[in-house]
Structure 1
Amino acid sequence: MKIKIILLIVTCVISATGWAQKGTDVYVDKDGIMRWGKTREEVRAFGVNYTAPFAFAYRTAQQQGIDLKKAIDDDVYHFARLGFDLYRVHVWDCEISDSVGNLLNNEHLELFDYMLKKMKDRGMKFMITPIAYWQNGWPAPDQKTPGFSFKYGKGDCLTNEGAIRAQENYLYQFLNHVNPHTGLAYKNDPDIIAFEVSNEPHHGEPAPKVTAFIKRMVTAMKKTGSKKPVFYNISHSIHLADAYFDAGIQGGTFQWYPTGLGSNHELGGNLLPNVDNYIIPFAANPGFKKIAKLVYEFDAADVGRSYIYPAMARSFRTAGMQIATQFAYDPTYMADVNTEYGTHYMNLVYTPQKALSLKIAGEVFRHVPLYKSYGRYPANATFGDFSVSYEQDLAQMVTPTKFYYTNNTRTTPPAVDKLEEIAGWGNSPVVQYNGTGAYFLDRVAPGVWRLEVLPDAVWIDDPFSKASPSKKMAVVHARAWPVNIQLPDLKDGYTVQGMNAGNAFSAVAAGTSFTVTPGTYLLTRKGATTGDLNVRLHHNIGLREFAAPGTSVKQSYVLHKPMASATEGGALAVEATVVTATVPDAVELSVYGKHWKPEVIRMEAGSGYTYRATIAASFLQAGTLRYYITVRTAGKAVTYPGAIPRGATDWDFYGTPYTVPVLPAKSPVYLFTASDESKLSRNWTPGTSLMPLAEPGRVELVVPIKKLFEVDPENRQGKEVHDYSMRYHFTGQVTGRQSDMTNATRIVFRGRTGDATPLPVQIALILRDGSAYGATVSVDVRTGDYSLALADLKPVSVVTLPRPYPSFLPYYFIPSSVSKFSLEQAETLQISIGPGITGAGLESSHTLVVESVRLE
């Protein structure tokens, strides 16, 4: 009897744990939650996509003579440093298969296997997508490759019988492939926790055919004996949701590009409204509730700031996502030019603040409960142990043992004496450091800490502008900086010992400070015992490990953009980023006033490579302000703009100065002119043109709109929204005009319509917290000024621009509350066609011609 009871219990356990007892470490329970087979705990994992073994990244390494295995070692070390515990990639099947789906054991596959082994050594797990459907060219032209995807293309791969058979063959061989570096077939590797069939299939066939196709793919994978969950992309063609759920998959994959893709410039303004909520239209579908959910790709594309990723992670957790991987981490050997995916930019060395933000986002996945909601922005800017601030460009995680921050912060950890890990950039109550690289502090033992400092990173161009291997976006500098570490566990006079290869630095801190260069160091309190120096930290990090490129500053850089305009009678602050191989002896501002000879003002060094000076009000008279910036180093002078090898006051100096138009007080403040069109966030429409006007320097933007609403083929049941909106972040245009802006009473739209009758146009100002105030003007067929009193503006809806992808995500942002209107808080202009239009006008075409928008 006892034996029968035991057998019954065992049978129940096997039934309850599903996948777990059938040879895999992960299973999906009846509620659609992935769980670890041994503990039944919820799977929570976070990481990146990374493409070094394939395509353009591989070719770039070959062209540069890079040892790819060494490069992979270094980047995987940085993954560990950032706390990533999962890796995903769509494998370039076109490079490792032939036209009938046979797996090719070539260098691409061997490098991939090597990389997986190195990630396993760091404790990382994997979700692999065997089929990409991508060719291998981007961003360069495609090459001829042997695979089935190259032969058939994505469309035919989904419908052509020969292509389908090739995919079945390939999937079967891929899962059976034995990694020579681990001795494990992919189907048996416990660290590969799931497979996604293919990358973004975009089905257009009837539902039964879609279901049949997916079933064939799933069957080919299960035929290998694999019991791992199989996922399929369900965020495209969402009208086919039931077809996906009926196909035998255990999970669905999603992506999120909340700021669109390919703006070709860094986006400004508060973009937290764009990531406030990840709403899935079919979330109530019974089939959806039974499958697991993960995010195979996400990024805030073209966003250079560090505040946004933890907010995205929070929204993912609220939506039920258990795994998320950013797309895509730039291999360090090519991150200085950002050529692989120019709209994305992620690397610990070259984008340190963004990388730390991603580290914090990973902690959000590990700490925020699944489906937990924190309400709407701005009320949800603080959630649990986390906070995000657009105004400070700051993301933070603060717990008794961990303190992570992406920018200067005044936050004091609740228990400094209990801290175990610190990761940061800039200054905090615990660490003061003016370098521009990331740093990490890890407690090794009582009174013993490991410090790692990465080299300074400086963006010398907009990294989201048009990329080229010949165009550097960023440089790194191994410059020495003072660091002040205030930890009760170290106290005054701790010893400092260099640890990484070639680092023989040894010193005693002066109080709590010393001068540091990039590397790893052991900090030891007086009387403390260092212990075993071969000890491994979290993610298998060794005390002596370090990976970073050397200094790449081969010339001087002065990065400065003069203000668009200024108001007479007010002082003007001038700021520049000055990067030189050695610290400059002096940086000077040479300003031309009433006399032919300029007045020289010494610029003072700020944090990092920033220099500042103030031009007195006496120089700001109506007209044109002219000035130069001169950098003096080792007796030599170089003057900008133009890098002229002379001082601005030398008799033989030549050059063209920086200029700022100085306008009389109470002059209009232009928020937007048509010449700024390239930085206007909007959906492009056919026929858009920038037309010159007869008056030199003036242009108008012609925007034809075929329909205010068109059915989205990716979301055919989506709600009808009759609206076409454009957004422009104008902070850079008005910085020198604050007094005139504050005193403005009206907002004026100048333009016309191409319609036969007047066109209602909503003009709105978006505040820093995402609140928006606007009103509608009736724009006639003749060019004219159309004015609104600022006092008459009312709260209006904010359109999430650039439009996010997937396109089923909300069109409008709904804040937790609307703040009081303040012109000082306004930073973004929104122009909308749709509000105020009724009847047949909603279905008609429209044309809006914009010349400018100004305050007066």
Structure 2
Amino acid sequence: MPHTNTSTRSNKMNLMGMKEVLRGFQMVVFCLLIAGNSIAQKTQDVYVDKAGVMRWGSTKQEVYGFGVNYTAPFAHAYRSAKKLNVDIEKAIEQDVYHFARLGFDAFRIHVWDTEISDSLGNLLDNEHFRLFDFMLNKMKQRGIKIFLTPIAFWGNGYPDMDEKTPGFSHKYGKDACLVNEAAIRAQENYLYQFLNHVNPETGVAYKNDPDIVGFEISNEPHHRGTPAEVEKYINRMVSAMRKTGCKKPILYNVSHSIHLGETYFKSNIDGGTFQWYPTGLGAQHELRGNFLPNVDRYVMPFDNVSAFKSKVKVVYEFDAADVGRSYIYPAMARSFREAGIQWATHFAYDPTFLAYANTEYNTHYMNLLYAPQKALSLKIAGEVFHQVPRYKKYGAYPTNTKFDGFRVSYEEDLAEYNSESKFFYTNTTPSVPVNTSKLKHIAGYGNSNVVKYEGEGAYFLDQLEAGVWRLEVYPDAVWVDNIFGKNNLNKEVAVLHWNEWTMEVNLPDLGSSFSLQGIQNNLQKSVDGKAFAVTPGVYILAKKGSGFVLDANARFKNITVGEYGAVKSTLKKSYLVHDPLRQVIAGKDVTIKAQIVTNENPDSVLLYVDNGGPRRALKMSRVSGYTYEAHVAAKDVSPGYLNYCFGSFYHGALKVYPSGTGSPLSWSFDGDTYSTAVVATSNSLYVFNAATDAKEVSKEWRKGSKLIPTADQSVVMYQEIPKLFVLDEENLEGQPLHDYSLRYNFKPNVAGRKDELSSFKKMVIKAHSVDADFPLQVALVDNQGNTYGALIALKQDVHEYEIAFENLQPVKHVTLPRPYPTFQQYFFQPDVTGSFDVKNAETLQISVGPGLDAKTLESSYKFGIESIRFEK
């Protein structure tokens, strides 16, 4: 064999050997990379331990997340942004900044699959999906973790009509999606593609994104099939997701059809998701009264299911719907932690561009700019989630209103967090910080021991370094209409106003001499005496001699020093916000208050009042912010009606409220007036009148509820109850409750006569039964949730039934409006029950059920109530 051939052959052999060595080396490197990726995936991904606790793979620490749902890329929010010519990307960036400012570290959304998929479950590359990916990346940049629900089942219409969308949910509907084979295959395909989808903003697939904590398969499935069918469906969904290689927790909504509990936790899911609406949904008006009893405990319905103990517990949605006050969210968060919940996301944060009208979900309202006190309450609730251990117990209301540095107060409309480094509050508070010299973070509304501020927006103070604080002030928010009513984009229910107010900051770290430097307005001045004028924006407060040099782009936690999240003033016209007293006592001074919100502060405000004689003008004094008041002297308050209107002067021009032109002192004035009844102390005090109050009664809806005029031209609130207990399709094995109750908060009815409440000795109920006599329980609920009642023997003819207050006894408190899900507690028993005091009474509770014998529990009942009054 020629040498050359041998040499060539040898070279080839050597080359082949080298290739093999190289290939082997590459394989080793590849294996190491795979192993490295696996380790990275293992250390970054959340895992579920044997006790059903989600833990971070990298630290093994417990996962706890608190935040919001937010829907800007989809459905009504998206359509509205287009109608309003809003830059959705900028809107998302601004709102995500709010989330960071409020300390949220959790986000959840049910994706409108019907807008991003076709009928076979294939993903669509469209604007909704692009904005969704953009939004997720903005969340990630702020350190916010994400829980995704890929399937919503919903159409995209609410509160409008559904559009014709391409997705499988539109083709099949929710019910068919759970049983129809073609629909199930579409969902399998969709879930597989969804988890494999690579977010172009990050270059990472959802299944591998370390900031996506896990997945909830679908939003609120209502299963009607057999246990075997349901388990098979769930496992098919899980399998489609696991085929992607995803190791993240996969959860399933288990708070519907809860009789399937054994089935849910026998399936291949890692845990269950829950929701909580403790004040019902859709009242169409703001609910009044103390709802801390409604949120005292979160009931878990699966304690008898052994497999449940090793499963994750997540709350995907919650809200105290139709409650406009700020005291309630930390109490809800406490109850979640007591129940072992690791993650909770409020539903839903209003995109700022929609918050002026609250059209997206009018039964909810949450936005830092437009609902600052509620937003601060949610911030404090987030602190509860991060500070309170799972399963720690705090007793029952009212003994649990103070816990681990937190305080909630219905009477003060206040939620508060007071720790060594943080002081947060939702309203003016008398509390003194634990240690003012060690404070690092302050967030509030109103006045406190460290900040006094007359404006009506939120503010934040954060220490950047010793002697240097970042101050962020938000514009004034005023609710000018029914926030929870039938809203539309052409109806303004809340306004923002940029105004200048005095702020006083009392921090030892700043002292009484410091500089003020504005970032948005370039304001620079020295402050002597701790008080200064401020408009909305971001400022640096620096102690004299600190030598601080401003860098607006410098990073501070998950924001930059110069960032700001407000929009300009939305106030386009003047508003008067006023709720007239319904009754006052003759011969006693009357104080009349109103908010007058204008672009320019009025030179003066007058109250024009008459009590049957000539109208006269009284000067009103500004109490705080936009609130003015005037006192009508006792000598000018005689039996009859106090009629009045308001006028504000601007550079000599008069504006009259509620309406009218010219001067109210002129005989030709044709404007409307407010009216308050003036009565003698001997008069009865009506706490309920069907003609005027029935629309605000909370009750479970039943067919046959209506108002009926009577022969004497009064009005009866009629209620028909075919059965006291109706089987709940979502809780087929629930304990039968033979009770039907109604609730009405009468606090506004007695506000003008509260000083004489203690002189009343009894209540008189004008009512009747229909068809048959039966017992009716009438009870009074005080401001602490204590409930005292008595039975009356309701007869078919109209009667007036008297109950002496001294005969009232403690009875069960019914949590109305009915909490949802319905497996939450129906009755509430407070930890401490005092004796009845009519001065504290503010709510009526009327119940059919108490006093009935076993034979009549299954009967039907019809009755009418005309009025309830207090007598002396």
Length-normalised TM-score, structure 1:
0.96
Aligned ranges for residues 309-348 of structure 1 at < 5 Å?
309-348=329-368
- For residues 467 and 69 of structure 2, what CA distance do their matches in structure 1 show? 37
Q: Is 1:797 the equivalent of 2:812?
A: yes
Which is further off, 797-806 or 633-642?
A: 633-642
- For residues 735 and 263 of structure 2, what CA distance do their matches in structure 1 show? 21
Query: What is the DSSP-based 3-state SS (H/G/I as helix, E as strand, rest coil) of the residue aligned with 1:48?
Result: strand
- For residues 510 and 611 of structure 1, what CA distance do their matches in structure 2 show? 30
Q: Is 1:549 the equivalent of 2:567?
A: yes
- For residues 660 and 106 of structure 1, what CA distance do their matches in structure 2 show? 58
- For residues 160 and 784 of structure 1, what CA distance do their matches in structure 2 show? 57
Q: 1:451 aligns with which of 471, 475, 479?
A: 471
Aligned ranges for residues 642-721 of structure 1 at < 5 Å?
642=659, 644-650=660-666, 652-675=668-691, 676-696=693-713, 698-721=714-737
Q: Is 1:65 the equivalent of 2:82?
A: no
TM-superposed CA distance for 1:784, in Å, is 1.1
1:227: which partner in 2? Answer: 247
CA deviation string 1:106-152 (max 9, x = no partner): 11011000011111110010000000001000001110000000000
- For residues 385 and 646 of structure 1, what CA distance do their matches in structure 2 show? 55
Contact 2:612-2:640 within 8 A present in 1 as well: no
Q: 1:135 aligns with which of 155, 160, 168?
A: 155
Aligned ranges for residues 497-576 of structure 1 at < 5 Å?
497-500=517-520, 503-531=521-549, 533=551, 536=554, 539-576=557-594
Aligned ranges for residues 829-848 of structure 1 at < 5 Å?
829-848=844-863
2:261: which partner in 1? Answer: 241
Contact 1:575-1:612 within 8 A present in 2 as well: yes
Query: What is the DSSP-based 3-state SS (H/G/I as helix, E as strand, rest coil) of the residue aligned with 2:513?
Result: coil
Aligned AA (2:795): D
Q: Is 1:195 the equivalent of 2:212?
A: no
TM-superposed CA distance for 1:496, in Å, is 0.7
- For residues 19 and 585 of structure 1, what CA distance do their matches in structure 2 show? 70
- For residues 123 and 560 of structure 1, what CA distance do their matches in structure 2 show? 43
- For residues 196 and 656 of structure 1, what CA distance do their matches in structure 2 show? 55
Question: What runs of 5+ residues in structure 1 fail to find an aligned partner?
Answer: 1-17
Contact 2:67-2:107 within 8 A present in 1 as well: yes
Contact 2:108-2:147 within 8 A present in 1 as well: yes
Aligned AA (1:847): K
- For residues 519 and 639 of structure 1, what CA distance do their matches in structure 2 show? 33
Q: 1:289 aligns with which of 277, 298, 309?
A: 309
Contact 1:444-1:537 within 8 A present in 2 as well: no
TM-superposed CA distance for 1:765, in Å, is 0.5
Contact 1:667-1:740 within 8 A present in 2 as well: no
Kindly name which structure, 1 or 2, has the bigger radius of gyration based on alpha carbons. Answer: 2
Aligned AA (2:379): K
- For residues 645 and 637 of structure 1, what CA distance do their matches in structure 2 show? 9
Contact 1:444-1:450 within 8 A present in 2 as well: yes
- For residues 487 and 456 of structure 1, what CA distance do their matches in structure 2 show? 24
CA deviation string 1:242-288 (max 9, x = no partner): 11111100011000000000000000000000000001121242111
Q: Identity of counterpart residues, as a percentage?
A: 53
2:28: which partner in 1? Answer: none
1:7: which partner in 2? Answer: none
Aligned AA (2:719): V
Contact 2:327-2:408 within 8 A present in 1 as well: yes
Structure 2 CA distance for partners of 1:183 and 1:296, relative to 1, 3 Å: same
Query: What is the DSSP-based 3-state SS (H/G/I as helix, E as strand, rest coil) of the residue aligned with 2:240?
Result: helix
Q: 2:182 aligns with which of 140, 145, 162?
A: 162
Aligned AA (1:744): F
CA deviation string 1:740-763 (max 9, x = no partner): 53211111111100132x210111
Q: Is 1:415 the equivalent of 2:432?
A: no
TM-superposed CA distance for 1:540, in Å, is 1.6
1:737: which partner in 2? Answer: 753
Aligned AA (1:573): T
Aligned AA (1:762): Q
2:455: which partner in 1? Answer: 435
Contact 2:661-2:670 within 8 A present in 1 as well: no
CA deviation string 1:649-708 (max 9, x = no partner): 245432232111112221111111112111000011101111112334x21011000111
- For residues 281 and 726 of structure 2, what CA distance do their matches in structure 1 show? 20
Aligned AA (2:386): R
TM-superposed CA distance for 1:299, in Å, is 0.3
- For residues 814 and 237 of structure 1, what CA distance do their matches in structure 2 show? 27
Aligned AA (2:143): G
CA deviation string 1:192-251 (max 9, x = no partner): 010000000011111010000000000000000000000000111110011111110001
- For residues 549 and 43 of structure 2, what CA distance do their matches in structure 1 show? 40
TM-superposed CA distance for 1:23, in Å, is 6.4
Runs of 4+ in 1 over 4 A off after TM superposition: 18-21, 534-539
TM-superposed CA distance for 1:530, in Å, is 1.7
1:378: which partner in 2? Answer: 398
Aligned ranges for residues 572-591 of structure 1 at < 5 Å?
572-591=590-609
1:826: which partner in 2? Answer: 841
Length-normalised TM-score, structure 2:
0.94
Contact 1:19-1:26 within 8 A present in 2 as well: no
- For residues 24 and 556 of structure 1, what CA distance do their matches in structure 2 show? 54
Aligned AA (1:785): E
- For residues 137 and 228 of structure 2, what CA distance do their matches in structure 1 show? 40
Structure 2 CA distance for partners of 1:434 and 1:700, relative to 1, 3 Å: same
Which is further off, 535-544 or 808-817?
A: 535-544
Question: What runs of 5+ residues in structure 2 fail to find an aligned partner?
Answer: 1-37
Aligned AA (2:562): R
Contact 2:41-2:208 within 8 A present in 1 as well: no
CA deviation string 1:34-90 (max 9, x = no partner): 111111111011000000000000000011111100000100000000001010000
Q: Is 1:403 the equivalent of 2:423?
A: yes
- For residues 689 and 734 of structure 1, what CA distance do their matches in structure 2 show? 25
Query: What is the DSSP-based 3-state SS (H/G/I as helix, E as strand, rest coil) of the residue aligned with 2:528?
Result: coil
Query: What is the DSSP-based 3-state SS (H/G/I as helix, E as strand, rest coil) of the residue aligned with 1:553?
Result: coil
Q: Is 1:787 the equivalent of 2:802?
A: yes
Structure 2 CA distance for partners of 1:539 and 1:326, relative to 1, 3 Å: farther
- For residues 78 and 156 of structure 2, what CA distance do their matches in structure 1 show? 10
Which is further off, 396-405 or 658-667?
A: 658-667
- For residues 145 and 556 of structure 2, what CA distance do their matches in structure 1 show? 15
Q: Is 1:252 the equivalent of 2:272?
A: yes
2:619: which partner in 1? Answer: 602
